[in-house]
Amino acid sequence: MSNDMKELIANTLLDMLKDDGLDNITISSLVEKCHISRQSFYYHFKDIFGVVAYIVRKNIIELKNECFHIPDKYASIHIFSMGVCRRAAVAKTLLNTKHHYEIESIILDEFKQFMDRVFLSPSLVGMLTDDERRIYAEFWACGLTKYLVVKTASGTLDAQELTEFITSAMRRLSESTIRRPKNGEDVSSQIIRA
């Protein structure tokens, strides 16, 4: 029942977003639309932003679940891109609020987990240390989050373009090797073709 109530609150908030901006929605108006008490609301969420965080995390988890069961990483990336584009309207509405930094932070945290899993790809495992994999994953998560925020805000997010960008970069990385320093030699950030 607890998840049903969370879903009711989240879905009602999403419906309300169609008519009102998030900054104009109050707990009072939300509980009235849900036909629940304030106590029920506070049992599940601390505030309106808690509902927003729940919606964002739930969407990203659904997105990860859609693409991680696919063995072909490039097909998986395409499904990821299409899923992002399907959710762009909701993302644009949520990012167009006073909470946009917090929402970006949630997206970034979830994308870090997503990219960490991408960088566990068999073609990359042997060539990257755990620290390198973590750094690449964080770098990609930051870039991907900013890219998606900017493209979503401008209304120019395109699934095919996103797929091509990510797969091209992943292909270049998997075709490269990191040259390890020898005897204190400084070769930081040098990537050479295998």
**pLDDT means over runs of 10, the chain (194 residues):** 87 90 90 95 94 89 82 82 87 84 87 78 69 84 88 89 83 61 52 41
Query: Do 94 and 39 share a structural domain?
Result: no
Q: What pLDDT is attached to residue 194?
A: 37
Query: Do 167 and 139 share a structural domain?
Result: yes
Q: What pLDDT is attached to residue 191?
A: 45
Q: What pLDDT is attached to residue 97?
A: 82
**CATH number of the domain that residue 67 is part of:** 1.10.357
Listed residue (87, 66, 62, 84) closest to 75, CA to CA: 66
Query: Do 111 and 53 share a structural domain?
Result: yes
Query: Do 171 and 104 share a structural domain?
Result: yes
Distance of alpha carbon 88 from alpha carbon 124, whole angstroms: 30
Domain holding 71, by residue range, is 49-193
Helix (H) or strand (E) holding 178: strand 176-178
Query: Do 95 and 162 share a structural domain?
Result: yes
Query: Do 106 and 18 share a structural domain?
Result: no
Instruction: Mention every residue, 6+ apart, whose C-beta is less than 8 A from residue 49.
Output: 99, 102
Domain count, the chain: 2
Contact 110, 92 (CB under 8 A): no
Contact 91, 63 (CB under 8 A): no
Q: What pLDDT is attached to residue 122?
A: 63
